[in-house]
């Protein structure tokens, strides 16, 4: 009699292989379905700007906006402080060099002038008194010198006579010695008076010269004070237009305070601000041009200001030949500034993507047009229309050139 064996329940060894294969398939399916979720961004193609990479001529220039300004601006600062007593010329008026624009008054300066005049008068009186004193001493000294000289001659003659008489024993020895002593005393007195006269003359020369120097110095000081008085008349420093005038009648102006400016209108310049990206390439004497009413006018970059503010630096440009007939200060012009020579290059149209990537990578659309893949590139120079592509792209490829900020960290863009 056969015995029926019951079939054992549970997993057999071969089942484990099936399970492993199934798990692997599930993992692969999940990876394909969900593995790229974080690196894929889906968007509508119509919302994007897509540009084609082309070969072409790269013009190395940038377009900047500039404002017309006078070729020079001369500032007026107050040489002297004072109260505005009269305003003769208003802002915007044309002036000639030396025209009086403002009149100031300064009571302290007036007092200084009176004091200087008084001191000068006292010094002049002192000089006159000293000169009279020295002149009197000079006259007295010469009189004394003449008297002692005459006495010396008389006593010398008397001594010589007595000496001869004494030799002939016609006079006593006492008379002879007395005449000799009188002669020798007169000679010494004459030398003393002569020396004193010479010293007085030398003292007179040096003293009067010193007093004259002091007097001239005081006159010069007074002249400078008079110049300060003239500076109370604020004059135009050059021919031009009075640009602004910060002064009203009755207003107190401090010494050195800026009160106005003169715009020199013999020529014009254009002031422009340029993005700091170009600061290493923008140098003096670069060529530029602007178009006005169908005519092109050439310019030259005259000055580059080194300071960068808010990501921009300033430059000045001047006309090299003709200028627009209707040019006026304050007008705005678009200027084409040439940074270098034109050359053949791979061109990528400019767009908002550069703000997101700095030109280090872009999204390249595949031939099907259904997706775009992130790719590293390298760009060189740029102008207002194109980037010069150095690496990473080929002619004919299409690139998303609109802004990438909404793409996040995506590596792949699915285009609907």
pLDDT in tens, 340-384: 888 889 999 999 999 889 889 999 999 998 999 999 999 988 888
**Residue 347's pLDDT is what?**
93
Closest CA to 386 of 46, 54, 45, 64: 54
CATH of range 36-58+343-415; options 2.40.420.20, 3.30.1330.10, 3.30.379.10, 2.40.160.40:
2.40.420.20
232 pLDDT more than 80: yes
In this predicted structure, the answer to whether residue 243 has a pLDDT above a threshold of 90 is no
What is the rounded CA–CA span in Å between residue 270 and residue 35?
A: 58
More confident residue, 65 or 24: 65
The end-to-end CA distance of the chain, in Å, is 74
Segment of 11-20, 110-119, 127-136, 258-267 carrying the highest mean pLDDT: 258-267
- When pLDDT is cut at 50, 70 and 90, the band that residue 220 belongs to is confident
* Residue 18 pLDDT level (bands cut at 50, 70, 90): low
Q: Exposed/middle/buried for 151, CB within 10 Å: 0-12, 13-18, 19+?
A: middle
The predicted-structure confidence for 66-87, as pLDDT tens digits, reads as follows: 999 888 888 989 888 889 999 9
pLDDT category at 15 given cuts 50, 70, 90 is low
Mean pLDDT of 131-140: 81
Q: What class, spelled out in words, does domain 61-69+265-338 have in CATH?
A: mainly beta
Average pLDDT over every residue of 122-137: 78
* pLDDT at residue 258 is higher than 80: yes
pLDDT at 1: 44
Measured CA to CA, the distance from residue 39 to residue 409 in angstroms comes to: 6
CA angle 165, 171, 172 (to 5 degrees): 135
What is the average pLDDT across 406-415? 90
* Rounded distance between C-alpha atoms, residue 114 and residue 73, angstroms: 38
Q: Which of 115-119, 164-168, 241-245, 312-316 has the lowest mean pLDDT?
A: 115-119
């Amino acid at each position: 009699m056969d015995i029926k064996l019951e079939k054992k329940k549970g997993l057999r060894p071969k089942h484990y292989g099936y399970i492993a294969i199934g798990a692997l398939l599930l993992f692969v399916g999940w990876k394909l379905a969900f593995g790229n979720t974080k690196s894929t961004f889906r968007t509508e193609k119509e919302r994007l700007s897509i540009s084609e990479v082309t070969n072409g001529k790269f013009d190395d220039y940038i377009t900047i906006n500039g404002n017309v300004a006078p070729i020079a601006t001369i500032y007026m600062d107050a040489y002297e402080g004072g109260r505005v007593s009269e305003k003769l010329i208003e802002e915007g008026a044309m002036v000639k060099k030396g025209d009086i624009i403002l009149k100031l008054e300064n009571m302290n300066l007036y007092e200084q002038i009176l004091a200087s005049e008084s001191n000068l008068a006292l010094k002049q009186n002192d000089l006159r008194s000293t000169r009279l004193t020295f002149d009197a001493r000079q006259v007295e000294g010469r009189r004394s010198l003449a008297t002692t000289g005459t006495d010396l001659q008389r006593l010398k003659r008397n001594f010589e006579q007595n000496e001869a008489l004494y030799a002939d024993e016609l006079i006593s020895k006492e008379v002879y010695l007395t005449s000799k002593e009188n002669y020798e005393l007169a000679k010494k007195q004459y030398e003393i008076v002569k020396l004193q006269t010479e010293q007085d003359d030398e003292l007179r020369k040096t003293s009067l010269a010193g007093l004259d120097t002091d007097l001239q110095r005081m006159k010069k000081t007074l002249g400078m004070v008079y110049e300060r008085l003239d500076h109370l008349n604020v004059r135009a420093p050059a021919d031009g237009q009075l640009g602004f005038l910060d002064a009203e009648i009755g207003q107190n102006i401090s010494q050195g305070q800026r009160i106005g400016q003169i715009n020199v209108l013999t020529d014009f310049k254009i002031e422009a601000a340029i993005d700091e990206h170009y600061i290493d390439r923008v140098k003096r004497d670069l060529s530029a041009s602007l178009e006005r009413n169908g005519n092109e006018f050439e310019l030259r970059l005259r000055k580059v200001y080194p300071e960068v503010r808010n990501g921009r630096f300033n430059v000045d440009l001047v006309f090299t030949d003709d200028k627009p007939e209707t040019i006026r200060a304050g007008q705005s012009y678009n200027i084409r500034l040439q940074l270098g020579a034109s050359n053949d290059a791979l061109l990528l149209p400019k767009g908002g993507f550069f703000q997101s990537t700095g030109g280090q990578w872009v999204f390249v659309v595949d031939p099907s047009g259904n997706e775009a893949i992130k790719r590293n590139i390298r760009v060189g120079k740029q102008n207002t229309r194109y980037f010069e592509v150095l690496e990473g792209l080929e002619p004919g490829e299409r690139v998303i050139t609109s802004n990438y900020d909404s793409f996040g960290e995506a590596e792949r863009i699915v285009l609907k």
